[in-house]
Chains A and B, each alone.
Chain A
Amino acid sequence: MNFFLSIIFSSFAVLVVVLIPWIGVGALDLRALFGVVIPYAAMATFFVGIVVRVIDWGRSPVPFRIPTTAGQEWSFPWIKRNPIDNPKGLGGVIVRMLFEVLTFRSLFRNTRLEYRRVDGVPKVDYEWEKWLWLAAILFHYSFLVIFLRHFRFFMEPVPGFVTLLQNLDGFMQMGAAPFNGFGLPGVYLTDMLLMAALTWLLLRRVLYSQIRYISLPADYFPLFLILALGFSGMLMRYLFRVDVTKVKELAIGLFKFSPTVPDGIGVIFYIHLFILCVLIAYFPFSKLMHLAGIFLSPTRNLANNSRFVRHVNPWNYPVPTHTYEEYEDEFREHMIEAGLPVEKGADATAESEEKE
Chain B
Amino acid sequence: MTDKTEGGDVRLSGISKHYGTFTAVHPLDLTVPQGSFFALLGASGCGKTTTLRMIAGLEEPSTGTVHLGDREVTHLPPYKRPVNTVFQSYALFPHLSIFENIAFGLRRRGIKSVKKQVEEMLELVQLGQFAQRKPHQLSGGQQQRVAVARALINHPQVLLLDEPLGALDLKLRRQMQLELKRIQTEVGITFVHVTHDQEEAMTMADTVAVMNGGRVEQLGAPAELYENPRTTFVANFLGTSNLIEASVESAGSDVVVSASGTTLRLPATRCSTTPRAGGKLLVGVRPEKVSLVPAEEENAIAAGRNKITGRIAASSFIGVSTQFVVDSPVCAELEVYVQNIERDARLVPGAEVVLHWNPEHTFGLDAAQDMEAGIETVEESA
Partners in one complex: no
Chain B interface residues (CB < 8 Å from chain A): none
